[in-house]
């Protein structure tokens, strides 16, 4: 098994935490993992992305030039990574913020209104977990229970008050991705 994904958005949207959480969940499940974060000089509002590679064998390189999965939280991320994806890849994007049309016809495109859902659930900080749920629904990388365990074990103390809301957001993302047909 080999799986790669790039989470990308503005600083403060939780792209790095989503990738880190996926990496923790995979590691806790006994899989091989790499997680490489990258962010601009601004703490909030700058660009932030991370690459996660998960495999059941040793990972030869943590670098991914052409990802098979992209989770784009905003328009600049959609613009950048749509063009870099492999054919037949899956592009999951936050249609609440990324409003431009996807031009590629050789990838599966899954538009998720994640910011709207996060707001409905009570906090814009839940955006990343809505998108994580959509990723889980569109791939067989890990079961949702593994992400829930990782939330229990790795959510920072300063965000513990959002634990149950994060789990709710995860399941809303799964439900949404199962009801919104991907288009190619």
Reported as type and span, the H/E element at residue 3 is strand 2-10
For Cα atoms 118, 142, 113, give the angle at the middle one, nearest 5 degrees: 25
Spatial separation of the C-alpha atoms in residues 78 and 152, rounded to whole Å = 30
pLDDT tens, N- to C-terminus, the chain (184 residues): 999 999 999 888 899 999 999 999 999 999 999 999 987 665 555 679 999 999 999 998 888 999 999 999 999 999 999 999 999 999 999 999 888 889 899 999 999 999 999 999 999 999 999 999 999 999 989 999 999 999 999 888 888 888 999 999 999 999 999 988 765 4
Give the pLDDT confidence score for residue 98 in this predicted structure.
Answer: 82
- In this structure, the strands spanning 108-112 and 47-55 are unpaired
In the chain, what are the domains?
2-179 (3.40.920.10)
Q: Are 23 and 8 in contact (CB under 8 A)?
A: no
Residues 6+ apart with CB under 8 A from 164: none
Give the pLDDT confidence score for residue 184 in this predicted structure.
Answer: 46
pTM above 0.75, yes or no: yes
């Amino acid at each position: 098994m080999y799986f790669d994904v790039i989470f990308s958005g503005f600083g403060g949207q939780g792209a790095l935490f989503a990738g880190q959480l996926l990496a923790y969940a995979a590691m806790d499940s006994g899989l091989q993992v790499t997680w490489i974060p990258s962010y601009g000089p601004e703490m909030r509002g700058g660009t932030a992305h991370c690459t996660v590679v998960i495999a059941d064998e040793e990972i030869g390189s943590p670098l991914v030039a052409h990802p098979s999965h992209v989770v784009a939280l905003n328009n600049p991320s959609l613009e950048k990574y749509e063009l870099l994806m492999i054919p037949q890849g899956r592009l999951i994007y936050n249609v609440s913020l990324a409003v431009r049309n996807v031009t590629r016809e050789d990838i599966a495109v899954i538009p998720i209104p994640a910011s709207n859902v996060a707001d409905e659930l009570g906090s814009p900080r839940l955006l990343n977990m809505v998108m994580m749920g959509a990723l889980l629904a569109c791939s067989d990388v890990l079961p949702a229970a593994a992400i829930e365990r990782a939330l229990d074990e790795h959510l920072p103390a300063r965000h513990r008050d959002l634990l149950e809301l994060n789990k709710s957001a995860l399941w809303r993302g799964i439900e949404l991705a199962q009801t919104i047909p991907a288009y190619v």
